[in-house]
Amino acid sequence: AKVRRDELQPEHFAAWLDWAKQGGHGLDFNPTCFSHPLAADGMTLAHPDPGIRRFWIDHCIACRRIGAHFGQALGTPCITNIWIPDGTKDNPVDRLGPRMRLRESLDAILAEPLDPTHNRDAVEAKLFGIGSESYVVGSHEFYLGYAINRPGLILCLDTGHFHPTELVSDKISAVLLYIDEILLHVSRGVRWDSDHVVTLSDETQAIMHEIVRGGFLQRTHIGLDFFDASINRIAAWTIGARNTLRALLLALLEPTDRLRDLELAGDTTARLALLEELKGMPWGAVWDMYCHRHDVPVGASFLNEVRRYETEVLAARAL
């Protein structure tokens, strides 16, 4: 039987919990404020209709409780991340009103105190989307201000949710001056589409360097947020995850203290020379040894495992 989104309970996700327990995994969660008749006009938590707004508030409250159940059962906190699509295709007259309603909705959602060892709350911004090209209620500035004024709330930075000329790597040190923790959604934006498989790009590397250089490892939750149905999805997940880990490895291998000393001394010539030399260092050998020690495929041999899974597991599901 179908269950209304505002009536969801932990038992509806028992299979998720069983899977996580079997594999020794934690689980994160999020409300689904889209693909629903009450989201058809592009507004949910900021909707002018109090009844519709209440439906989505109750949905988010239910999701927080499910997240807390996950965290308690698995012994590791669940991050329940709130993202909404609210916005307008053309320029609105009233930009303030929807943001006031969103703030009020978030206050109602987060009013119930939950044990932070079970559930952590996060909020996620976006610059624009399909149907909200001109105005998004939950902008970066909105959520940054909200997170600063609500201690313990995590701010999510998605690498595909900003203008192509904006860099999440440049935002990390700025926002962590004012909030305790951030959640990263490592993705790859291509023009208007924000969810391409992560590559070992300059920005992926810059993000991980910024986390390591700033001493932010304990204050940053690194999550991946991408999908690509045009390729094998297990391969997509593996490629993206391995590239994220490789970028982090590169940052951890960097002689940051030496580079910082050169910078403080004003020796920008030596800084540039060393940074360029690092690009040719044989870090790939370290990565291969890391994979070997963790008994996972080295190099592109992971594709053999993907093909085996595709043949033995995925193909059977189609029968």
- Catalytic entry in 56, 225, 254, 287: 225
Q: Is 126 a catalytic residue?
A: yes
Among 28, 121, 124, 203, the active-site one is 124
Q: Is 21 a catalytic residue?
A: no
Residue 161 a catalytic site member: yes
Q: Report the alpha-carbon distance of residue 281 to residue 285 in Å, rounded.
A: 10
Which one is catalytic: 69, 140, 161, 209? 161
Active-site residue (options: 47, 59, 83, 86)? 83
**Is 257 known to be catalytic?**
no
Q: Are 117 and 69 in contact (CB under 8 A)?
A: no
- Residues linked to residue 123 through DSSP beta bridges, in sequence order: 82, 155
Whether 195 is catalytic is yes
Candidates 41, 58, 104, 195; catalytic one: 195
Of 47, 69, 118, 126, which is the active-site residue?
126
Could you confirm whether 124 is annotated as catalytic? yes
Among 47, 185, 210, 254, the one annotated catalytic: 185
Whether 2 is catalytic = no
The residues assigned a catalytic role are 83, 124, 126, 158, 161, 185, 193, 195, 225
